[in-house]
Each structure stands twice: as structure tokens, then as C-alpha cells.
Amino acid sequence: MYAAALAFTLFAVFPFYWMLITAFKQNRDLYVGATNLQHIPWIFNEPPTLYHVRLLFLNTPYLLWLRNTAFVGALVVLITLLVAVPAGYSLARLAGRWGERLGIGIFLTYLVPPTLLFLPFARLVSWLGLQNSLWALVLVYPTFTVPFCTWLMMGFFRSVPRELEEQGLVDGYSRLAVIGKVVLPLAVPGMLTVVIFAFTLVLQEFIYALTFISQVDRMTISLGVPVALVRGDVFYWGSLMAACFLTSVPIAVVYSAFMDRFIAGLTAGAVKG
Amino acid sequence: MALRRPAEAPLLAPAVRPGRRTLADRESVLGPLLLAPALLYVILLVGVPFFMAILLSFSSAVAGGLEFSWVGFRNFQVLLSDGQFHRALQNTLRFMILSQLLVMVLATAAAHVLDAAFVGKRLVRSLLLLPWAAPVALSSMAWVWIFDSTFSVLNWTAKKLGLLQGWWYWFGDPALATVAILTVHVWRTFPFATVVILAGMSAIPQEIKEAALMDGAGFWRRLFHVNLPMLLPVVAVAVLFGLVFTATDFSVVWLLTRGGPYNSTHVLSTLAFQRGILGASLGQGAAVAIFLLPILLVVAVLLLRVARRAEVGA
């Protein structure tokens, strides 16, 4: 049992180990194994170095990409919250029977993949004059965050006991006041989930960024690292892997911390409340 | 519990003061009002582009220009007699089916392992989730480095173990490149499937498991006659999602091989990108991408059907 668990874990974790060890290896240590079979690539043969990490932070636009990503991420999260939270509530409480179908309809749009939409968006973006602009990403990214987050919020609102709201209404509060004072505070964990998901989805997006952004200093992190850290045919594997590790592991940890809600939302969102 | 009133408060609510009712209180208005922004966004930025994609596939539109001229089915005719396109379509289906077959086996096995109680289970589970949760564009780069033509750690290990005489050029050989892409797809989607199946397993009523145990059913018997049949809907949901993700994946193939060597590993999405953006022929690219539609449609229908059945069974 332990052996099987270990095997699965090793398979899953190996690329991350490889990022980590590459990021801190000296160049001499990295590029010898091909010619010299005695040189073991799996471990540090020379003492680890911070050289690649320093190179990444000081001599590449990595920090700029982080800033771009934060900018796009923050705006997309804001748009998603403003749009998905009211919609989720409306579908959960006010829409009645057609809400169910509409909810499924909105969720299905989440299955329409970027790889189908990037060409029309390329045209839309050039029509709006937004090529090479982060605003293009701000405009387009909610297309995948909104459907999913609306679905999630719908599930969360359904889990708020109806009686609480009815009591508020009986007490003479308006529906909006009930939403503001009773429902929203209870839905804070749901909204937090939405924030995390919208943000991590933005961090992970690749094809739209590749299509719209060609200027290196306007790239986001998951575009810049694979595309712009490769200069010509030369791969600076040390810095490249440092960037991959420093970016992907924190995201992955945060994302998987919310994974259970994601799965619950995915499967239980349809369960009638 | 925010509204729990003190005990001495009157049971009946205070009378509603006239004038406090506003437009927003009329639920027939409020409902659509709250829903409108989301609906508008989805219609304008998913619905409209979706139909634009279909329209584009019937046009000779090019990137850069904004003119639009209808060419009927010409793009499709060109594609149907295009070997590269056939290859891409086949690859898409091949990657989808092979990777999800592997995922089904691996994930069911991994879920059974994780379901058994052992020390460090939580840690293992969260480590397993890393591939799914990490940005795919970045983890693909790690794989590019792992499969590197000269410094491949896999080659080194295989040589050291005496499995390899010559040298594997992972991205230089169509068969090896296919293996590489499949590996990454499996690596990326099996953790998600594992967690979904694990969730499904914990939903199997304990009595059924115990009853099977009491009746003296061995491990394999319980696996094939009790667990797997009950897990089928959950496995199906996980696999169908995996199918969607592999069918529509762009980053893995693009970053690993750019569709190479000799355009042998293109899938629909990378070919669409190559034709539509790099080749500037939006119409052609859109026509390629459109072929994703029937695939997705089938998967979506199956997904809804299975999800409904899973619900009834639950």
C-alpha cells in the first residue's frame, strides 16, 4: 500500500522536484550529464547556487510579469464578483423553475473552450484596438470565470437556510436589505472561493495571452515564463525552472486547498436546495 | 443566525412601513435585474464570439484586416483534403481516448490506495493534486526540460539501467513525441480524477461495503462487483471532464512540440492557432477549431446524462 502510494506521489511530484533542483544547480552541474554518464543528474553534485534565481529577478522581466498578472487578476476578480454574486443569488432564490435550466445553461458556456473562441476574440480585440493591451485580457478572462463562479455562488446561496431570509422579510426588511445583512455575510466563504478561483484561473491562462500579447513587458506570468525566457534557441533552464517553481507551487498549493469546494461545487451545484 | 431575536421580542414582525417597498422589492423585477449583467456578459462575450467562430469558418477573413467575405464551404473542402488536418483530428481523438483510458485505470487505483487509511494520507493527497493545480503552461516547461533532447534525465536513467542503447530524441521522433504528450496529459488529469473518484468512494454507503465483507467477498470481487459499479457514474464524470480538458488543450502540445516534428503531433487547437494566428488565415483556423464542436457536444451530452443519473443514484 505504501509502495503504491509512493509511486503515485513520485509520478505526480517529479516535475516539481525537477524544477526545484534545476533552479538551484550550478550550470556546470546542469549541463554535464549528457556527455558523462557518471555524472548523476538526480542530485546536487556541486553545491547549490542562487545564481539563477538572482538572474531571474534582476535580469528578466519576471517582476514586471508578476505585476501585470496581479493587475489583470485583480480586475477580473472584481468583475467576476460583481457579476457572478448577484446572478448566483438570483438563480438560487428568485428565478424559480427556469432558474434551474438557466443555471445549467450558464454552466455549459464554461465548457465552450478558449481554443474555440480565441480566433473570434483575436478579431474582436483588433477591432477594439486592444492588441498588446492587458485590457484585452481583462475583457476576455471573465468569459471563463463568470460562468463557473455563477454556478459556484448559486450552490452557496442554496445552502443558506431559506428561513433566515424569510424571517428577515417578515421583520419588514426589504429583499435587498435581507441580502445585504443576512445572505451576503453568510456567503463570505463562497465569495472567497470565487476570488481564489478567478485569480488562479487568470494565473493559469495561456492561449488568450499568447494570442493577444506579443510585447514582452506586457506579458502575464504564465505567458512570459515559457515564451520570453527562452532567448532564441537558448533555454536558460536554471532561471526558467526557478520561475516555474516560484510561480506554480504557491498557486498549486492555494488552488488545491480549495479543491474540495471546487469538486463539491462541480457535483453538488445541481443538487436542488 | 444573524437574525436571532431576543426572546422578549414580539413573535410577529412589526408592520411593514409603507413607502419602504421599492422597485427592488418586486421579486419579478429584482431577479432578472441581478441576473442581467451575467447573462449579458455570457451572451455578448461567449455567445456572440461562438457564432462569430462559426461565421468565420465560412469566410476568407485574415488577421489584421477586418474585411469579411463569405466563401461557403471552401475552408472545409480544403481541410477535408488536407493531410495535416486529418492528422490533427486523429491526434486529438487519440490523445483524448488513450490518455483517459490510462487515467481511468491509474485514478481508480490511486483512489483505492488513498482510501485505505495510512499515515501521511493528507500529505499524499495534497501532493497528488499539484499537477492538476499548477499552471499548465509552467508545468509543461518542466516536462520540456525533462524530455530535453540532450540533457533528458529519463534518457540518462534508462541508459544507466541498461534499457537504452542509443539516444531518445523525445521531440524529434513522432512516436516519442506522442508518448511525451500523452505522459503529460495523463500526469495532469489523473490527480483530478483520483480526487473525484475518492469523493465518490466515500459516498458509497458503509453498510454495502460491510455486507460485501461479511459475505466473504475478497478484494477483487468487492472491487469489480461492488465498488466499480457504484463508482461508475463518478468515474464517468471525472473522465468526461478529462476528455474535455485534453480535447481542448493547447498549451501542452504547443509548448512541448509546437505540433512538430514535421507537423506530426498537431491537434485541432494547435493547428487552428498555426493557421489562424501565425498563418493569419482566420477563416481556415476557425474552420479547424469548429471540428472541436461535435466532440465537445457529445461529451457535454454524456456529461449531463451521467450527472443526472449520478444524482438519482445518490
Q: Which residues of B263-292 are buried (b: 16+ CB within 10 A; e: fewer)?
A: bbbbbbbbbbbbbbbeeebbbbbbbbbbbb
Selected residue with higher pLDDT from B155 and B193: B193
Can you give the pLDDT at residue B32?
84
At residue A234 the predicted structure's pLDDT band, cuts being 50, 70 and 90, is: low
C-alpha B100 chain-centroid distance: 10
Contact status, residue A110 vs residue A148, Cβ threshold 8 Å: yes
Cα–Cα distance, B308 to B53 (Å, whole number)? 30
pLDDT digits (tens, 9 = 90+) for B97-154: 999 999 999 999 998 888 876 777 778 888 888 898 899 999 999 999 899 877 788 8
Can you give the pLDDT at residue B8?
41
Asked if the Cβ–Cβ distance from B151 to A31 is below 8 Å, we say: yes
Nearest Cα of chain A lies from the Cα of B61 at a distance, in angstroms, of 9
pLDDT of residue B160 exceeding 70, the answer is yes
One-letter identity of residue A28: R
A186 contact residues in B (CB cutoff 8 A)? 2
For the segment A139-168, the average pLDDT, to the nearest whole number, is 88
Beta strand pairing status for A234-235 and A230-231?
Answer: antiparallel
Does the predicted model carry a pTM greater than 0.95? no
B24 contact residues in A (CB cutoff 8 A)? 174-176
pLDDT of residue B86 exceeding 60, the answer is yes
Asked if the Cβ–Cβ distance from B151 to A146 is below 8 Å, we say: no
Asked if the Cβ–Cβ distance from A13 to B130 is below 8 Å, we say: yes
**Per mean pLDDT, which range of A29-38, A128-137, A236-245, B290-299 is the poorest?**
A29-38
**Per mean pLDDT, which range of A249-253, B118-122, B234-238 is the poorest?**
B118-122
Cα–Cα distance, B114 to B112 (Å, whole number)? 5
pLDDT of residue A100 exceeding 80, the answer is no
Nearest to A11 by CA among B190, B99, B105, B135: B190
Nearest to A268 by CA among A155, A126, A122: A155
**Per mean pLDDT, which range of A43-47, A189-193, B29-33, B240-244 is the poorest?**
A43-47
* Interacting residues of A217 by C-beta distance below 8 A, sequence separation 6+: A61, A64
pLDDT of residue B6 exceeding 60, the answer is no
| Cα–Cα distances in angstroms (integers) from residue A53 to residues A98, A229, B33, B153, in the given order | 54, 13, 50, 22
Can you give the pLDDT at residue A111?
79
pLDDT of residue B211 exceeding 70, the answer is yes
Compute how many other C-beta atoms are within 10 angstroms of the C-beta atom of residue B192: 23
Can you give the pLDDT at residue B33?
86
| Cell numbers found for residue B293 | 464542436
| Cis ω before A226 (30° cut-off from 0) | no
Selected residue with higher pLDDT from B8 and A39: A39
Q: Where are the alpha helices (DSSP H) in chain A?
A: 2-23, 27-30, 51-59, 62-89, 97-109, 114-127, 134-140, 142-159, 162-170, 175-178, 184-186, 188-204, 207-212, 221-228, 237-257, 259-268
Asked if the Cβ–Cβ distance from A116 to B310 is below 8 Å, we say: no
Can you give the pLDDT at residue A195?
93
DSSP type of residue A60: S
Cα–Cα distance, A1 to A217 (Å, whole number)? 49
Can you give the pLDDT at residue B1?
38
Can you give the pLDDT at residue A171?
85
Closest chain B residue by Cα to residue A250: B134
